[in-house]
Structure 1
């Protein structure tokens, strides 16, 4: 499995936006669009009969460097052997469309459809055996649908003066995107140190179910929020699990994931709000089992993607909100930079 397919799952952590609010202070957010936007971002705003259509765009950039030493250290200071320096740079543009509907003041149903365009550049030294000359190879996909998700959010407890609102969040994601399993690795003819995939994945390749709780509490002038989630990936049989010939079918058990997040938001005025948050997603190793064989761990497939986020939302009117978000990765598994824009419209 490609390591650079991991950010596809991790890049799904984005901020939504807002509309109108309901009820009184202490149990529900006030009517200001800026505060309602924060509640909407945390899946904590339920307006009976309201339908929301939310187009969005996200750009994610990441790079990684690797140094491989094949030799030995002589006299405790001189390295004798081959040195290979490689770099991978990835750019992912995601166009998304999410639709939600609240049949009651506690229940929200929705569906989210992503469309991804990816480009990765692989660099390595080793041209004609040289340890100084480098070459590169760029792999692109022309755009393809990602994993479609179905959403269900339910308010377990409404916010009170002494306790936060608690929302139960559920997501079922289907493997509609291009699977990372079975993608073949190729070697550049002039540089046998440079290997690259024949195509790029746009999905996880397996069915997954995410469940968790989010919490939100108004403590004027700030709003506090947090979340805890768990993603379970279902075992799935795929026709090819090898990245090199020959083809071999087998079972895939992608690593499950724990997600945590917390932050605070401030309503600058009745239209604009600022959000500061920390998000972390920790996944286990993926396991593969060839037909007739035993389970094997995919080395290096576990990840810890932590990021800091800054968001700004602006309520254009009672129906439309403009939401931007910038995330900066804190660990090597998180994208270096992720910028998103969403414009929800409520009917």
Structure 2
């Protein structure tokens, strides 16, 4: 349309020039000689202006011809590409990688001979990052955090504090009426403080598998206040004991079982094993308390459990931005051990924990959860120790702050909800990531 418009304008312009020429010619034929010279000069100027206009028209037509040629080349390229796509298998065409070439602002937006067949910027297949468990504040050895990337090492120093207070009544007597007892009745108030400093290291074998090793150092201090009420004692007996030494070594492994696609949660398998390298409670010596007949107190406190243990568990993580729901189911097996009083089989335990992690921003997040563990009766020489079951429940609160790309601060708080649980626990972790073996 643009070319037709300029062509018509050019014809009208030439026709107008012809009419003007005829008028000048007629006027010059009957004009005086002096006047004829002036008319000829004016006509030459007008002719020069028309020639300049003619040159401009020729340039416009040439530019229009170039645009038409580019449109023709683009049309040919589209036709050829359509034929090639029909001949290629559907799978090959879907997997064909796209290449994005950077260009300057002054260059044409598209090349005449190369047009993309898919959206510009689409990543080639196989380059997308593999789904990984989301980052949430670590609440325990099996819940929280994120698996270590392949080739990375995470060094994690931590400091753990626990406080327990318990009032206990010991009755070594018999009764013949509900209000009358014959024997020893001992009342005790126990306050226990435990501080554990741990140095751990995790290594990412692959993007789905990590291994961990932890070395704890334990310090414990107990205060027991006792008064026998059946022998007329008028003062409380207080006994203090403490112990500090290396604790039980821990080995752990975690493996991501699935990718979490298709609306499924991400499942992570965990196994934690401990070796009895700390001071065993079965090797502690007890002494007779003065002024409290029948009461014995330990001379020092143990720093280990005294037996091997294995805890397999499975963790489920379901991300729903910005929250992550989690749950963990575990079983704890404690191996039999020989002591001075016989063979002791500590009771196993089943545990359940669940909760939610919430991302405040890119650097901060917090989590809320609950953990409950039921410990079964223990055995000594094959005989069940009645009343040795325990129920340990805790309300868990965690907070995580990403101090730098390599360092994170993680604080978790546990509040006991059952009589067998510790009153309060605090755990401060500082995982630091080092890419020593980047792949």
- Shorter-chain TM-score bucket reads 0.7 to 0.9
Asked if the contact 2:377/2:384 (under 8 Å) is kept, the reply is yes
Question: What residue is the counterpart of 1:65 in the other structure?
Answer: 167
Task: Name the SS for the 2:147 alignment partner.
Answer: coil
Cα deviation, 1:54-90, whole Å, max 9, x if unaligned, reads 000011000111234556586x7x6566653211111
Sort the Cα spacing of 1:92 and 1:299 in 2 relative to 1 into closer, same or farther, 3 A.
farther
**How far did residue 170 of structure 1 move?**
0.9
**Counterpart for residue 315 of structure 1:** 402
36-45 or 99-108: which moved more?
A: 36-45
CA apart distance, 1:135: 1.4
Q: Within the alignment, does 1:275 sit opposite 2:379 as a pair?
A: no
- CA–CA distance in structure 1, aligned partners of residues 348 and 170 of structure 2: 30
Shift of the 341–38 alpha-carbon distance from structure 1 to 2, 3 Å rule, reads closer
Pick which of 83-92 and 62-71 moved more: 62-71
Displaced runs of 4+ in structure 1, greater than 6 A? none
Q: Distance in 2 between matches of 1:274 and 1:49?
A: 28
| Deviation at residue 160 of structure 1 after TM alignment | 2.4
For 1:79 and 1:127, the matched residues in 2 are separated by: 13
Does the C-alpha gap of structure 1 residues 180 and 29 become closer, same or farther in structure 2, counting only changes over 3 Å? closer
CA distance in 2, matches of 1:215, 1:265: 13
Q: Tell me, what secondary structure is at the counterpart of 1:192?
A: coil
**Cα distance in structure 1, aligned partners of 2:392 and 2:230:** 37
**Cα pair distance change 1:36/1:91, threshold 3 Å:** closer
Aligned residue number for residue 320 of structure 2:
219
- Which residue of the partner structure matches residue 88 of structure 2? none
Structure 2 residue aligned with 1:337? 424
Distance 1:251 1:71 in 2: 30
User: Higher relative contact order by CA 8 Å / sep ≥ 6: 1 or 2?
Assistant: 1
- Matched ranges for 1:34-183 at <5 A: 35=135, 42=144, 44-68=146-170, 70=173, 72=175, 79=180, 83-126=185-228, 129-141=231-243, 143-183=244-284
Residues of 1 paired with 2:191 and 2:138: CA distance? 33
Question: Offset of 1:109 from its aligned partner?
Answer: 0.7
Distance in 2 (CA, whole Å) between partners of 1:102 and 1:65 is 46
Once the 2 structures are TM-superposed, how far is the Cα of residue 132 of structure 1 from its aligned partner?
4.3
Relative to structure 1, the CA distance from residue 90 to residue 284 in structure 2 (aligned partners, 3 Å threshold; closer, same or farther) is same
Number of equivalent positions: 304
Correspondence for 1:197: 298
Separation of aligned partners in 2, 1:113 and 1:127: 44
Report the Cα offset of residue 46 of structure 1.
Answer: 3.6
Cα distance in 2 for residues equivalent to 1:270 and 1:310: 19
The question of whether the paired residues in 2 share the 8 Å contact of 1:278 and 1:307 is answered with yes
Contact 2:266 2:316 in 1 (8 A): yes
Normalised by the length of structure 1, the TM-score is 0.80
Distance 1:298 1:185, change over 3 A: farther
CA deviation profile, 1:4-56 (whole Å, cap 9, x unmatched): xxxxxxxxxxxxxxxxxxx769x3367xxxx4656995364241111000000
| Distance in 2 between residues matched to 1:231 and 1:271, nearest whole Å | 34
* Contact 1:42–1:214, Cα closer than 8 Å, also in 2: no
* Higher strand proportion (structure 1 or 2): 1
Deviation readout 1:253-303 (Å, 9 max, x if unpaired): 1111111111101111111111101111211122122xxxxx223344321
- Structure 1 residue ranges without an equivalent (≥5): 1-22, 242-249, 290-294
Query: Is the radius of gyration larger for structure 1 or structure 2?
Result: 2
- Call closer, same or farther: CA 1:65–1:193 in 2, change over 3 Å: farther
Query: Deviation at 1:108?
Result: 0.4
In the alignment, what sits opposite 2:132? 28
Root mean square deviation of aligned Cα: 2.6
Asked if 2 retains the 8 angstrom alpha-carbon contact of 1:42 and 1:216, the reply is: no
What SS does structure 2 have at the residue aligned with 1:204? coil
SS in 1 for 2:149: coil
Asked if structure 2 preserves the Cα contact closer than 8 Å seen for 1:288 and 1:298, the reply is yes
Displacement of 1:112 in angstroms is: 1.1
Greater fraction of residues in helix: 2
1:179-225 CA distances to partner (integer Å, 9 max, x unpaired)?
A: 11143332211222542112212111111111110011111221101
Moved more, 167-176 or 41-50: 41-50
